[in-house]
Amino acid sequence: MQNEYLYYVAEWIIASILLVILAILFELGYILGIKRLVRKGIRDEDIGAILGGILGLLGIMFAFTFSMAASRFDARKLAILKESNAIGTTYLRVSLLPDSIKPEIYSLLEKYVDYRLKYDRTTDRTKMNAIVDSSEAVQVKIWRLASRNAVLNNNWNSSLFINTLNEMIDLSAERYAVQLNHVPEIIIYLMILLATISTFTLGFACGQEKNRKFIFSYSLVVLMVLVLIVIIDLDRPLRGIIRVGDKSLMDLDRSIGKYSPLKSESN
């Protein structure tokens, strides 16, 4: 995500700027189309075919980019589900460990779930990095306890817990990776470029007919912007309207809160 600036700009700002730019380009194309018609006295018959080709290319780019953004969105949902399942399995397998370390590992895992939930609900990059550091600190503490126990008690139960814990740690790293993996910004810029060219060409074609076809033309412009904004929103896992959601982690947290062995011990 380095050297990518559009990713951090609010979507309503992008949409507003695009609408203004496209409207200006449409009107500019319309004026130039009229001037060319007046100067030459004939219409450019090829402009319709050119406009169709540009709009077709833009449609292909929209479909291609939407597919990329949607696949990344699905990958993020799957990563959260897999991680919550791994944490839940790790929590259950704590029961296989000696009683001397169970309470501390249970407590650390409950704290870990809280950090993972906070990670999804934070959009500030500094706070997010702090949460990641705290999560990794908990991972290290649990790993040290588990590895020390594995050395002292080299048995099947210790191996089962170590394997699940290792999977939980790996899946947290995978989740970080998929959240940082979004559509390359150069593709968004290319779509914006195609949208501006197609809007200018549309305005020129309308100018050749001395008819703006206001409703249809500006409806097309608005639809271009809306599709582009939906793609950008879909590709932003930490902000925007379309969010991945953390229902699986919330269900896990609720289940842990209800059946936590620490609560039964305190009672």
The per-residue pLDDT for 151 is: 85
Sign of CA dihedral 67, 69, 223, 44: negative
Q: Which of 132, 148, 142 is nearest to 165 (CA)?
A: 142
Is the pLDDT reported for residue 4 higher than 70? no
The per-residue pLDDT for 25 is: 95
Is the pLDDT reported for residue 266 higher than 70? no
pLDDT tens-digit series, residues 37-50: 777 666 667 788 88
Is the pLDDT reported for residue 2 higher than 60? no
Is the pLDDT reported for residue 165 higher than 90? yes
Contacts of 36 (CB under 8 A, 6+ apart): 44, 204, 207, 208
pLDDT tens-digit series, residues 92-142: 999 988 888 999 999 999 999 999 888 877 767 788 888 889 999 999 999
Q: Which residue has the higher pLDDT, 244 or 224?
A: 224
Domain boundaries, the chain: 6-266
The per-residue pLDDT for 1 is: 46
